[in-house]
Structure 1
Amino acid sequence: MKISTKGHYAVQSLVDIATQPDKAPVSLGEIALRQELSQNYLEQLFVKLRKANLVKSVRGPGGGYLLAKPATQITIGDIFLAVDESLVLTDCVDEGGGGDIPNCSKANDCKTQTLWAHLGQHFNDILYSTTLTNVMAGDYDFSRARAGAPSAI
């Protein structure tokens, strides 16, 4: 699985807003400049983030975007969901984990489908338990991760 640009940029942008010391509205131009991102692309993402009630806009001079709720209440999973980031590890396991694929000729005899479903569930557990506050602090407690496992990075 690979996190798309939209998921990456959405998380990066909300962390940018959350880390501003004065908590004043932040313009997309400021975010684009600081994070070296396309402002046009951010505009598309922020329409979705606003519809998902993760950010709110402030119009007028000094306007921009604020988090719609505390950073402790916004998870990475919430952000991915808002921008339509796929949380599916393989084609044979849907986001609900059911994995019912009628076109798969091996659906009834697949030995790995349960593996992918469990990995997907652990991935989702991490995404929905990691908040913007965790990201800002670099505080990642993946207590289920196997000690000594090689890094995916």
Structure 2
Amino acid sequence: MEEKSMGAYAKSGSSPIAGIIKPGDVPPRGGLYLLDVVPDGEVRYGFPNINDTAEIVEMIACGCHVILFSTGRGSVVGSAISPVIKVCANPETFRRMSGDMDVDAGRILDGRADLDDVGHEIEDLVLAVARGGRTKSEDLGHHEFVLTYKSFEPIGPGCLPSPT
């Protein structure tokens, strides 16, 4: 889990971490926030429930309107609430599942594009979706939604940056 988490952090770029939030906490201002999805209270059966749909709903609960979802194995998840843009950095997975992936970031590994090219493509796609464009998940009718048994207490101001 630590390696997976470090990989997720590495994908976030070079921005400093602005704070930690839990599902349902809306970030007080812009910036990179880490989402603590470990439920409060007693450990219950089934946790950690590594479930893409549940994690997407937790991001939506924090105010996400468009989800950027990175996948290497090709998760076919969508959302009933917010559009999901799937970014795949595994060239083989993208070739195999191109009808369900929005961005072929594996072009960087293959030398067919550079980081800036793919970054601009993602930015353009986010803007297009925000203007009403559809994602591959939406075109395919993926409208998943799940509420989990997790419960959270707001993290509070101690994990947020002081106002500047």
More strand, by proportion:
2
Q: TM-score normalised to the size of structure 1?
A: 0.24
Larger Rg: 1
